[in-house]
Amino acid sequence: MNLQKLVVLSVRLKCIPSLGIEVPWIDRLRRFQFFIGEQANSLPTRHAKRRVTISGLNLSEEWIGGLLSNVKSLVLNHCWGLNQMLETLTIDSTSSFIGLKSLTISNSNSSLRPAGGCAAHYDMLPNLEELYLDRLTYLESISELVGHLGLRFSRLKIMEVARCPRLTDLLPYGSFILALPSLEEIKVSFCDKLEELFRYCSGHNSTPEPVVPSLRIMELKNLPKLRTLCREWESWPRLEHVDVVKCNLLRKPPLTIQNVNAVTLHLGE
C-alpha cells in the first residue's frame, strides 16, 4: 500500500503495532486516531488530532514507545500491567516524548508505585498539558506517576482526578515538584480519602511563592476528608472560579483582599 499521500487515518487494531522510533509515514499525517483493543472508544480531549486509545489490554509486556514518539494524546482505559509497562518505558527509552500533551489513565486496578531503581532521571513528558486520572483503585498520590516518568509538570494546564478511593493527596510539594507554574484548572471529585491537595515536604512549608500561581478554576466535589487546600498564609492571585460541593471539613478557600471580589465562589451541599 502506498502511504505517501495519506494525510488522515482512523483505524481500529486488536493489539499494539510494532513500530520503530522513526515512522516517516505517521509523521506526515495531519490527523490520526488509533483505537487499540476491542473496547477502545473515543474520549473527549483538546488534543485529538494525533491520538491513541488503548483499552482492555495487558500492557505488562508491551512496548508503547514507538506510539508515544508520534502522538499528542494517549488514553489508557481498562488496561492492566501498567506498572510493568511504565518500568519498561523508563528503562528502555533513550529520550523524552516531547509531542505528548494529553494523558488519560482510567479504570485500572494496577499499582503505579515505582519499584526500586526504576525512576526516570529526566522528565519523559516535558510538554504535558493535560492529565486525567479516573477510577484508579490503588493510586495514593500522583507522585507515583511522577516518580516513574520523572515528571515536572512545568507546562501542565489541566489536572482532573476522579473516583480514586485511596488517594490521600495530589502531589508532594518540595521533592520532585517545586512549582506548577502553568496549572490553570484543578478538578477533583469522589476521592473519599483525599485530605489535602498538596503535601508540603519538610523545609518547604515556609517558602513565599504559591504552588499554583496561574490557577484560575478549582472544582472540588464529594471529598469528605479534605481539610486544606494550601498553606494558611498562601494565596492564589489569579483564581477566578471556585466550586466546592460536599467538602464539609474544608477550611476557607485561598482568597485575599486582592482577589475576593473577582472570584466566583459556589459552595454546595
Q: Does residue 8 belong to any structural domain of this protein? A: no
Q: Does residue 89 belong to any structural domain of this protein? A: yes
Domain with 45, as residue range(s), is 18-268
Determine the pLDDT at residue 3.
Answer: 64
d(CA 131, CA 44): 13
Decide: 79 and 58 in contact? Cβ < 8 Å.
yes
DSSP string, 99-125: T--EEEEEEE----PPPTT---SS-S-
Determine the pLDDT at residue 9.
Answer: 84
Q: Does residue 74 belong to any structural domain of this protein? A: yes
Determine the pLDDT at residue 7.
Answer: 85
| Number of structural domains found in the chain | 1
pLDDT tens for the chain, 269 residues: list them. Answer: 566 778 888 888 888 887 655 566 777 888 888 899 877 666 666 667 889 999 999 998 777 887 787 889 999 999 999 988 888 888 777 677 888 999 999 999 988 877 665 677 789 999 999 999 999 999 999 988 888 888 999 999 999 999 999 999 998 887 677 789 999 999 999 999 999 998 877 655 556 678 899 999 999 999 999 998 887 767 788 888 989 999 989 876 666 545 555 567 676 66
Q: Which residues contact 65 (CB under 8 A, 6 or more apart)?
A: 21, 89, 92, 93, 97
d(CA 37, CA 56): 6
3-class SS at 150? Answer: coil
Q: Does residue 227 belong to any structural domain of this protein? A: yes
d(CA 80, CA 29): 30
Residue 41 burial class via C-beta count within 10 angstroms: exposed 0-12, middle 13-18, buried 19 and up: exposed
Q: Does residue 62 belong to any structural domain of this protein? A: yes
The neighbour count for residue 15, using CB atoms within 10 Å, is 10
Query: Residue 82 phi/psi, 5° resolution?
Result: -65, -40
d(CA 161, CA 53): 19
Decide: 71 and 98 in contact? Cβ < 8 Å.
no
Q: Does residue 2 belong to any structural domain of this protein? A: no
| pTM of this structure | 0.89
Place of cell 466566583: 264
CATH number for 156 = 3.80.10.10
Q: Does residue 133 belong to any structural domain of this protein? A: yes
Q: Does residue 9 belong to any structural domain of this protein? A: no
